[in-house]
């Protein structure tokens, strides 16, 4: 069973909105455009990116993202 603190952390990260309503080109749309992905695929990558951030925070050892998640990471930075 997972630690309740981990569940709370993941819930908070998942609730964090990367696509600002006022943005002319929201994060997910920009990620899709820059990578040549569909908006639906980019949205799935954003979910995996958030899950990766949570994993990196609790793993206790270095973790490596997939190529797609790495693209989201670099755009977010």
pLDDT at position 65 over 50: yes
* HSE value, Cβ hemisphere, 13 Å, CA-based, for 44: 6
**pTM of the predicted protein model:** 0.91
Structure token pair of residue 26: 């929201």
**Mean pLDDT, rounded, for 2-21:** 92
Nearest to 7 by CA among 44, 58, 46, 56: 58
pLDDT in tens, 19-60: 998 999 999 999 999 999 999 999 999 999 999 999 999 999
Structure token pair of residue 4: 């309740």
């Amino acid at each position: 069973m997972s630690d309740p603190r981990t569940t709370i952390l993941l819930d908070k990260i998942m609730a964090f909105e990367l696509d600002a309503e006022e943005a002319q080109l929201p994060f997910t749309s920009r990620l899709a455009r820059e990578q040549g992905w569909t908006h639906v695929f980019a949205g799935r990558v954003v979910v995996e990116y958030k899950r990766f951030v949570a994993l990196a925070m609790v793993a206790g050892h270095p973790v490596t993202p997939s190529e797609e998640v790495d693209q989201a990471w670099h755009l977010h930075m």
